[in-house]
Structure 1
């Protein structure tokens, strides 16, 4: 199979990068995060790009970064929370095993406190996180071959659930791997 062994999607703060790094280590392969690719290419943080050039510009950079990573990277790949907003990206993801990492807002608050430098959460972060996640949820399910809930789980438990689902790569329309 060309392209990534697994692509991780989900809302900001769900742990895609953390889970992805541990997953890659367990699989003995490389990890890549498209947000990191954008930051490296632009020499600025995502928040700085949002502030200076706007969300639409960032989404264009994100779309290009995802397409490049899907074509080049043969291991574990994490996408930014909003990458699934683009229909072209969703079409590209259809050819890959995609795991949707999911959590509720209470878990997000517990994990990150929603105080990180996240440009889309600048005002009323709890409510804004909930709105963004609800608006994107159906898109995560559309691209996912599996969904793994992270609520109350340690990283190793999430990685084990992702690994357990990698043996069956049949698209299941986002069916729950575990709750």
Structure 2
């Protein structure tokens, strides 16, 4: 069993939105590892960061990704930083990893500057730029399919992914 597609990308790339539309298009179920982490912890990710710290969150995230890759055969959306763990990178080998590429300006528009995302709290634009720079080489290396999302509707992005999957 393996997911039909594993969506990766930074905050604001459209993993949840595109994932929902792609799952519907493929007549599959969307599973989001951020939701799995929240269910396991019994609280939102922002509270996990505050109460337990990023290290604890990342451990929960690694477990959630490993379980989802082993159990889920639909569309899987990973949290933006899930790809930082070496274990996760190894587990993604052989899967259909779809990198949803987004530029900084577009990501800022989508995420907003009043974000409740824990890693973007202090200076969202600066933090997002830093995250993009740090993670870009990993996203690109892991991707089997790369789809640009700037100035495109979710349906246009889904259409390209479906073409690439066939």
TM-score, normalized by length of structure 2? Answer: 0.97
1:5-51 deviation digits (Å, cap 9, x = unpaired): 10000001211011001100000011100000111121110000011
Shift of 1:162: 1.0
What pairs up with 1:43-82 in 2 under 5 angstroms?
Answer: 43-82=42-81
User: SS of the residue aligned with 1:7?
Assistant: strand
Task: State whether structure 2 residue 22 is matched by structure 1 residue 23.
Answer: yes
Do 1:108 and 1:114's aligned partners in 2 also have CA atoms closer than 8 Å? no
What pairs up with 1:133-144 in 2 under 5 angstroms?
Answer: 133-144=132-143
* Paired position in structure 2 for 1:175: none
Can you give the 5+ residue segments of structure 1 that lack an aligned partner in the other structure? 168-179
- Please give the alpha-carbon distance, in whole angstroms, between the structure 2 residues aligned to 1:75 and 1:28: 8
TM-score, normalized by length of structure 1? Answer: 0.90
User: SS of the residue aligned with 2:106?
Assistant: helix
- Please give the alpha-carbon distance, in whole angstroms, between the structure 1 residues aligned to 2:134 and 2:111: 20
Task: State whether structure 2 residue 121 is matched by structure 1 residue 122.
Answer: yes
Shift of 1:112: 2.6
User: SS of the residue aligned with 1:108?
Assistant: helix
Do 2:9 and 2:80's aligned partners in 1 also have CA atoms closer than 8 Å? yes
- Please give the alpha-carbon distance, in whole angstroms, between the structure 2 residues aligned to 1:136 and 1:112: 17
Between the two structures, name the one with larger relative contact order (CA 8 Å, sep ≥ 6).
2
- Please give the alpha-carbon distance, in whole angstroms, between the structure 2 residues aligned to 1:72 and 1:139: 24
Can you give the 5+ residue segments of structure 2 that lack an aligned partner in the other structure? none
User: SS of the residue aligned with 2:94?
Assistant: coil
Do 2:92 and 2:142's aligned partners in 1 also have CA atoms closer than 8 Å? yes
User: SS of the residue aligned with 2:69?
Assistant: helix
Across the aligned residues of Structure 1 and Structure 2, the Cα RMSD in angstroms comes to 0.8
- Please give the alpha-carbon distance, in whole angstroms, between the structure 1 residues aligned to 2:90 and 2:138: 11
User: SS of the residue aligned with 2:98?
Assistant: strand
Q: How many positions carry a matched residue from both structures? A: 166
Give the ranges of 4+ consecutive aligned residues of structure 1 lying more than 3 Å apart after TM superposition.
none
What pairs up with 1:96-107 in 2 under 5 angstroms?
Answer: 96-107=95-106
* Paired position in structure 1 for 2:7: 8
- Please give the alpha-carbon distance, in whole angstroms, between the structure 2 residues aligned to 1:114 and 1:5: 33
